[in-house]
Chain A
Amino acid sequence: MNPLVERLYNGIVKENPSLVLMLGMCPTLAVTTSATNGFGMGVSTLAVLVMSNLVISLCRKAIPDEVRLPAYIVIVASLVTVVELLTEAYVPALYSALGIYIPLIVVNCIILGRAEAYASKNPPLLSTFDGLGMGLGFTIALTIVGFVRELLGAGTAFGYQVAPDFYEPIAIFVKAPGAFLVLAIIIAIMNGANIMTRADEIVEDCDGCCARCSKVCHTKEGEE
């Protein structure tokens, strides 16, 4: 497979950040009260991820190894501020719906995880596609979670009424517990499908977190 296409496939399906690697759980649960919000959050993260992967890949030979994490954090925080100001200026409705979760993209595990695990070791074009794939995977996952919650909790999809009149919306799905419930069921369905197709490779939860997750996930050491 073409390496660029392979990167996209890897991000969207094989290592989907939300559903397989279990990274970036905060926004996945917090902003998915509707499909539109989930999609908006996904696109904001996608933008930051593509740019941060590109910038970090370009700077990878200039940044000394000892200070790489602080350097990455500064790059990511600057890009997040740019995205935050742009959202506030051009999509104010989304800005007020997402609120504090836009600046919190800085501490989204996916971004530092990809910087550390991929962009710091690979050339710019491949890194950009890696960011694009991961960002698309994240956007798709958030949109699905948001779609399910909005449909069950409000009877709408992307703001349009789709449920028949006799359907009584189950409000708990757009409240906090619904987020955990929908995500649990989606992951269980994916696990079930994995068990049926590949008996040996059951997706385990990724213990430990965030910046170091890429390492933790593969070695399975976690915090213990």
Chain B
Amino acid sequence: MTSLIMIVITTALINNVVLSQFLGICSFLGVSRQIKTSASLGAAVIFVITIASAVASLLYDFVLVPLNLTYLKTIVFILVIAALVQMVEMFLKKTSPALYQALGIFLPLITTNCAVLGVALTNVQDGYNLGESILAGFGTAVGYTIAIVLLAGIRERIDEDAVPAPFRGAPVVLLCAVLMSIAFMGFSGLSI
């Protein structure tokens, strides 16, 4: 039990996917203008990564390993993720238009979010079983959401500040990420 909780804490805080693994940087820098949109993106990411890690883990254990095709994992995973995102999009459109409205535009973006493929590959590398993979995926996505919502909160304030011209745009956002990353390094004390 403790080890399962540790998986979530490790993936969400200690090895934060954005601030220490550098996955999903594109959307982290791109879609962090407002807290509201970043929170919606975060919700969509939690949803997709959790399902994707479950599906990827099942496929790996029950199809790729028995057939000796593990070297195809990159191709299989990326196709599964792309198809999965499409299916989730169609499913939400039919069953829950309100949720689709909130998450809709972000779903296609998630296919190219390297965090999704990264989690699937890391789970396989670490030899996680189905349950552990789902928890690791969930924890990673929660860590992503924490990071992007915090950054959006900072950026909403920076917009009103007088930033020196060369630092406008990307550099000042990266500087915020530096400070967040240093703060998250403090979590490494949590590891047992």
* Chain B CB within 8 A of A47 CB: no
A210 → B minimal CB distance (Å): 4
Residues in chain A near residue B168, CB distance under 8 A: 191, 202
Closest to A185 in B: B171
A223 near B37 with CB under 8 A, answer yes
* Chain B CB within 8 A of A3 CB: no
A223 near B31 with CB under 8 A, answer yes
Pick from A100, A208, A211 the residue with the most CB of B within 10 Å.
A100
**A45→B181 CA distance, assembly (Å):** 26
A43 → B minimal CB distance (Å): 19
Residues in chain B near residue A203, CB distance under 8 A: 169
B169 near A191 with CB under 8 A, answer yes
Render A128-150 as a binary contact track against B, CB cut-off 8 A, 1 for contact.
00000000000000000000000
**A202→B29 CA distance, assembly (Å):** 18
Known interface pairs A185-B171, A191-B167; A107-B30 also in contact (CB < 8 Å): no
CB contacts under 8 Å to A, within B107-138, are: 109, 111-114, 117-118, 121-122, 125
Residues in chain B near residue A15, CB distance under 8 A: none
Residues in chain B near residue A210, CB distance under 8 A: 26, 109, 112-113
Residues in chain A near residue B84, CB distance under 8 A: none
Render B78-96 as a binary contact track against A, CB cut-off 8 A, 1 for contact.
1100100000000000000
Residues in chain B near residue A117, CB distance under 8 A: none
Render A89-120 as a binary contact track against B, CB cut-off 8 A, 1 for contact.
00000000001100110111100100000000
Closest to A102 in B: B74
Known interface pairs A103-B74, A107-B117, A176-B19; A112-B26 also in contact (CB < 8 Å): no
**A213→B29 CA distance, assembly (Å):** 13
A175 near B114 with CB under 8 A, answer no
* Chain A CB within 8 A of B185 CB: yes
* Chain A CB within 8 A of B182 CB: yes
A213 → B minimal CB distance (Å): 8
A38 → B minimal CB distance (Å): 13
* Chain A CB within 8 A of B9 CB: no
CB contacts under 8 Å to A, within B57-114, are: 71-75, 78-79, 82, 105-106, 109, 111-114
A184 near B79 with CB under 8 A, answer no
Residues in chain B near residue A172, CB distance under 8 A: 182
Give chain A's interface residue range (CB within 8 Å of chain B).
Answer: 35 or more
Residues in chain A near residue B111, CB distance under 8 A: 211
CB contacts under 8 Å to A, within B162-185, are: 165-175, 177-179, 181-182, 184-185
Residues in chain A near residue B112, CB distance under 8 A: 107, 109, 112, 209-211
B21 near A77 with CB under 8 A, answer no
Closest to A108 in B: B114
**Contact pick for A183, options B26, B71, B174, CB 8 Å:** B174
Residues in chain A near residue B125, CB distance under 8 A: 99-100
* Chain B CB within 8 A of A122 CB: no
Closest to B177 in A: A180
**A29→B22 CA distance, assembly (Å):** 7
Known interface pairs A85-B71, A180-B177, A205-B169; A25-B105 also in contact (CB < 8 Å): no
* Chain A CB within 8 A of B25 CB: yes
Shortest beta-carbon contacts, A-B, top 10:
A184-B174, A210-B112, A205-B170, A209-B26, A192-B166, A30-B22, A25-B25, A188-B171, A77-B75, A177-B181
Residues of A within 8 A of B (CB): 22-23, 25-26, 29-30, 70, 73-74, 77-78, 80-81, 84-85, 99-100, 103-104, 106-109, 112, 172, 175-177, 179-181, 183-185, 187-189, 191-192, 195, 202-211, 213, 222-224
6 pairs of residues in contact across A and B, judged by CB atoms under 8 Å? A26-B114, A70-B79, A104-B118, A184-B174, A191-B165, A206-B30
